[in-house]
Structure 1
């Protein structure tokens, strides 16, 4: 399944972040916080571009991954040399999602320069295989890690063990109930 893409880890960055239900705020009811998240995400990608990163890998999950893919696609207008790589754990991963997320998935998939499928179908461990693949191909991870257990925490811990730079854009006040 792995496509032979000539990676240059020194110039490749991947994304890892929460799905919408684990963000710590209701992105539909508190759109201000989603705007802040996306502004911070865009700034982190621009910073990576300033550091000469040109390839960005998204895991294509709902939430942070798809928002990151959309930001890269938008920035390609300004920086046409940027490449988006979709690392998918298995074929059909979006088939049971809500229409909003399926449409976002399709736009990201169509806007990508490369795609990599880690499996033909869902298998136990396929998400970890995807996360490992992304980290192994990168020297930087732009993440939204709010400390909850799950795939993002796993990916960030794996990246730290490998010496990959983490750029965590999570802020502790991303919720109306927790603002100072």
Structure 2
């Protein structure tokens, strides 16, 4: 697998409204644990759409892994121009920092937001360009990642396409492992 898209919930869908929330650490750790073996097997590109939440946290993970794995690259393919326009200033700064550090940045539709089909096009376009999808997803609480997942599942019908999930159970086990390790120290 040379390319993978990463997606998941927006922060507010997870009840996370602050970049200092403890849950972000565990989500980033889970992403890191999933993508390091992929990098070691030849993963070259991680693609996100720059959505707030899991996607930008994944970008942070990829950017931090570049020190250890200089061949990994990050692409941010936004669904439309200026997706950050209505965000708060601190969020815009965080987003801009990630875009500035990414290896490739572009917008799929070369115009500002004008209709919801741009989001569907973004999902379809990105899935058509990658070999797999890593998704933070809870089958019991589908939310926005479901749209990406449905397109990825359709892709599996036409070509070899990997779908890797990080589930709430995976996160719970990670938290338990981390807490057990802290208790040993």
TM normalised by structure 2 equals: 0.81
1:1-180 pair list within 5 angstroms: 10-23=1-14, 25-26=15-16, 28=18, 31-119=21-109, 120-124=111-115, 125-147=117-139, 148-163=141-156, 164-172=161-169
Structure of higher CA gyration radius:
2
Are the equivalent residues in 2 in contact too, given 1:33–1:174 (CA < 8 A)? Answer: no
Which structure would you say has the larger RCO, counting Cα contacts within 8 Å and 6 or more residues apart? 1
Q: Say how many residue pairs are matched.
A: 166
- Post-superposition Cα deviations, 1:87-122, rounded to whole Å, max 9, x if no partner, equal 101111011112332122111100111122112111
Choose between structure 1 and 2: higher helix proportion: 2
- SS of alignment partner, residue 86 of structure 2: coil
The CA RMSD measured in Å over matched residues stands at: 2.2
- Give the distance between the partners of 1:35 and 1:12, measured in 2 at CA: 24
User: Cα distance, 1:151 vs. partner?
Assistant: 3.3
- Give the distance between the partners of 2:126 and 2:19, measured in 1 at CA: 32
Q: Which moved more, 1:116-125 or 1:52-61?
A: 116-125
Are the equivalent residues in 1 in contact too, given 2:24–2:57 (CA < 8 A)? Answer: no
Are the equivalent residues in 1 in contact too, given 2:152–2:163 (CA < 8 A)? Answer: yes
Change (3 A) 1:60 1:173: same
